[in-house]
Amino acid sequence: MTIQETLALKVKEAFVSIYKVELPTVEFQATRKEFAGDITVVVFPMLRVVKGNPVQIGENLGQYLVDNVTEVEEFNVVKGFLNLVISDTHYLEFFQGIKNDKKYGFVSPTVANDAVMVEYSSPNTNKPLHLGHVRNVLLGYSVAEIIKASGKKVYKTQVINDRGIHICKSMLAWSRFGNGETPESTGLKGDKLVGNYYVKFDKEYKKEIAVLVSEGKTEEEAKKQAPLILEAQDMLRKWEAGEEEVIALWKKMNQWVYDGFEVTYKNIGVDFDSYYYESNTYLLGKDNIAEGLENGVFFKKEDGSVWCDLTADGLDEKIVLRSDGTAVYMTQDIGTAIQRIKDNPDIGGMIYTVGNEQDYHFKVLFLILKKLGYAWADNLHHLSYGMVDLPSGKMKSREGTVVDADELMTEMVTTSREISEELGKLDGYTDTQKEEVYTTIGMGALKYFILKVDPKKRILFNPKESVDFQGNTGPFIQYTYARIQAILRKAEIDYSKNVTIPLHEKEKELLKQVELYPEIIQLAATNQSPALIANYTYDLVKGYNSFFQNVSIFGADSEDEKIFRVQLSSLVGNIIKSAFGLLGIAVPERM
């Protein structure tokens, strides 16, 4: 039981003893630096349960805790805040219990039928992954890892959008202009090669539109009548009819893209447990619509289209089946969600990592699934996130102005190399060792810069700024980890030995931060926010650096103090590595 859990029980016990009423919750916060104390109990919310002077209530509770909780040494009350001084003994005993636990803060899965499926990436197979996908996959992967650490089984998945007119555009352009080019013949990754032809289609299509406009067509007419778009539409019809030649081309070009994606995923350090393909899922959901129609969840309009009336829920009417009987995206999303539960019956909830432009779509999807009677629909979440911008401005796939994910990662490593060489931080390393560290720093900078921001906020990403060795950056934290490893290499101590020493204020402050780690993991899992882990790690590192600057490790007054400080350094290093692992970030042993 943590100190906060112990205190919460005792505060509630005190309330019953003193005021003869039950207190539903106890609110804590860190004690402000200008006051003596380690943990603060906030008294103001208690006034909803018992009327009185908050200072007097604080005094009464403080005295009860001093008398009944061995860990509480003294207290003071400032207005409605009860500041508690926790004994060194508590922190020393706590430290001795976890100092060698490399999984400290992690919870093993215990609850059956409570697995969570996290969907992320879900790209189109007509172009390579770009900067927007980078934020998506980093968020989805990190949230999956955090939820796993919080004690739940997790399935990582994606839906690959491998069908539709946009896919046919790339296929048609390659057929027309490709001259048999392949990834092998060009030396290009397959996703890049296919993406080039998506851009090529758009350029040639615009030329045809311009010609038709010059002949007197309106722009809208020209867009619909251009030969290329008509041919792409015809190719889509042939694909849907299963025409052998079109299917063979589709499979070949999609495989090029899948191979390219796998290289990118490997380089960015994310993985998946399963894949769903839109070509297999786009017909799902029709049976569910028919069933919902019978049960009155949906209604049919005069033209034969099927709708769900959500106006009573503050939304609008949503089409779920066109008048010709064909599905819309909502239809297949309904069917895919239901199929996932069939495939993995232990799933108790799902998280969709998708940009905030789809906020309304997911409100509608979740509400429809609830109306269809699925209990698990209460545990569906949209991990909504803002766009990522660069100083150069917006990205457009059709025009080939997207920021390619592979090129961005290469640029990050290059930036890391330039700054590291300028600072002379890797003197004495072999070229191979240097390249490994450049990659670790560059990728750490990219991931940390994106993940330290609350997912809902928009990001302006500056590569140079992210690879700064000072401030709230990945490299700053990685450098502290490497410094700790250097201390551990130099030290020769018995890590199993328990020592009792009077704690320096910096040691106590650091242990208070360490004690928060399990709570931060649970909070980050509940809020689906890697930013909480990132910023906790930054605060921990700041606390460690303050300790390092104020307390001598190898010049300690006694051997026990030296042992304790090395052990404490080791524990902080383990937590940095653990927390960064939840963010998908590697840490260098030397730097």
Per run of 10 residues, the mean pLDDT along the chain (length 591 residues) is: 91 96 94 94 95 96 97 96 96 95 88 85 92 95 97 96 95 97 97 96 97 96 97 95 97 97 97 95 92 95 96 96 91 95 94 97 97 96 92 50 84 89 79 93 96 94 83 94 95 90 96 96 97 98 97 95 97 98 96 82
| Fold of domain 405-582 | Isoleucyl-tRNA Synthetase; Domain 1 (1.10.730)
Architecture of the structural domain at 115-274+336-389 = 3-Layer(aba) Sandwich (3.40)
Q: What local confidence, expressed as pLDDT, does residue 397 receive?
A: 41
Name the residue among 297, 294, 283 with its Cα closest to residue 367.
297
Instruction: Let me know: does 563 contact 497? Beta carbons within 8 Å.
Output: yes
In one-letter notation, the amino acid at residue 378 is: D
d(CA 213, CA 304): 36
The three-class DSSP label of residue 558 is coil
d(CA 305, CA 322): 5
Where in the chain are the domains? 3-86, 115-274+336-389, 405-582
Write a three-state SS string for 31-55.
Answer: CCCCCCCCEEEECHHHHHCCCCCHH
pTM listed for this prediction: 0.92
CATH number for the domain running over 3-86:
3.30.1360.70
φ/ψ of residue 274, rounded to 5:
-155, 160
CA-to-CA separations, 301 to 103, 315, 330, in angstroms, rounded: 57, 18, 17
- Pairing, β 306-309 against β 317-321: antiparallel
φ/ψ of residue 269, rounded to 5:
85, 35
Instruction: Let me know: does 224 contact 205? Beta carbons within 8 Å.
Output: no
d(CA 384, CA 361): 11
d(CA 558, CA 561): 5
d(CA 105, CA 578): 9
Helices (H), 150-243: 165-177, 183-186, 190-214, 219-225, 227-240
CA-to-CA separations, 506 to 496, 510, 551, 568, in angstroms, rounded: 23, 6, 8, 11
Q: What local confidence, expressed as pLDDT, does residue 400 receive?
A: 45
